[in-house]
Amino acid sequence: MGKINCEIHGENVIALISEYHHERMGIGKKCKLSEVKTIIVDDKEGLFNGHYQVDPYLIREIGIQNSRIDVQSDFKKYELMFNKLSPVCPMCLKEYLSKI
Ligand SMILES: [Zn+2]
């Protein structure tokens, strides 16, 4: 995990968010609750486990089902999703999500 230096909040460990939300955060726009979807990444080997906040458009594009990616059977989907995530300040993300 890398670090991010936020103008407002200083240095923090980066959080990841999909490009759609990244863009809205950047221009100070709100999103709807229905546009925030949590994807659970399930890896039996324990390397890629995690939760990621994305948007329904990305879910549709990649074809993620049941808000879950199984790394063993769906590694390609995991890669596709991961490549579309952008690093943000975790505090800014928290504020963005609290405004919904
Ligand atoms: Zn910040």
- Interval between CA 4 and ligand 1 midpoint (Å): 9
9 Cα–ligand 1 center, Å = 4
In this prediction, residue 1 carries a pLDDT of: 65
Q: What is the DSSP letter of 10?
A: E
Tell me, what's the pLDDT at 99? 92
Where are the extended beta strands (E) located within the chain? 3-6, 10-13, 15-18, 37-42, 50-54, 68-70, 85-88
Domain total of the chain: 1
CA dist., res. 36 & res. 72, Å (int):
25
Q: What is the pLDDT of residues 26-80, one digit of tens each?
A: 999 999 999 999 999 999 999 999 999 999 999 999 999 999 999 999 999 999 9
Report the chain's terminal Cα–Cα distance, integer Å.
Answer: 27
Q: Containing H/E element for 58? A: helix 56-62
In terms of residue numbers, what domain contains 37? 3-98
pLDDT of residue 34: 97
In the reported structure, the alpha carbon of residue 88 is separated from the centroid of ligand 1 by a whole-number distance in angstroms of: 8
**Kind plus residue range of the DSSP H or E element containing 30:** none
Cα-to-centroid distance, 98 and ligand 1 (Å):
13
